[in-house]
Amino acid sequence: MTRGRHPDQGRALAEPVAKHRGVVHMIEPGQNTLLDIVITGSGIFGAVAIRRAQRLHAPLPDLEDGFNDLINQIRQLPSGDQISREIWWYNRDGHLRFFRIEGTGLVELAADGSPLPDRQDKGWNRLQVRQAETKREVPRGSAGEVLTGSRT
């Protein structure tokens, strides 16, 4: 059983992400509701709980400690190759962080559901979207200019 208000902001943030992964089934919030979203499509079934984390950038063990009861409840759901039990954390700034709940631990995911590479140098991985660089002109005679023909 959860405490406090249901995560309306988190549900609004998560719905567009979930729609990119398949057909989204939003679960009506309630006192004993464990999941918030079920995602189905092309051979997958995603069971997702959405929760707000005070310190989204915290190391994974700290996040796990704060949500240990919820994670253990989700672990009791069926699992398999085509069933993904997930928890999506968000913060008040509108950032999301995605994890698959395995039998013994959590695996951080990208927004598309693929596992992120394990990165020990950073506390967490974040998807950043940048504008594409515009093509710059290279001054004539510079090292970046492509030479054609013979220069003899």
pLDDT by residue (tens digit) across 103-125?
Answer: 888 999 999 999 988 755 444 44
> Mean per-residue pLDDT for 47-59?
92
- Asked if 49 contacts 36 with a C-beta cutoff of 8 angstroms, the reply is yes
Reply yes or no on whether the pLDDT at 90 is more than 50: yes
Output the pLDDT for position 134: 40
> Mean per-residue pLDDT for 135-140?
46
* pLDDT tens per residue across span 68-89: 999 999 999 999 889 999 999 9
Shortest CA distance to 1 belongs to which of 49, 62, 64, 60? 49
pTM of whole model > 0.85?
A: no
SS3 44: strand
- Asked if 108 contacts 122 with a C-beta cutoff of 8 angstroms, the reply is no
Q: Which domains can be identified in the chain, with CATH numbers?
A: 8-109 (3.40.1350)
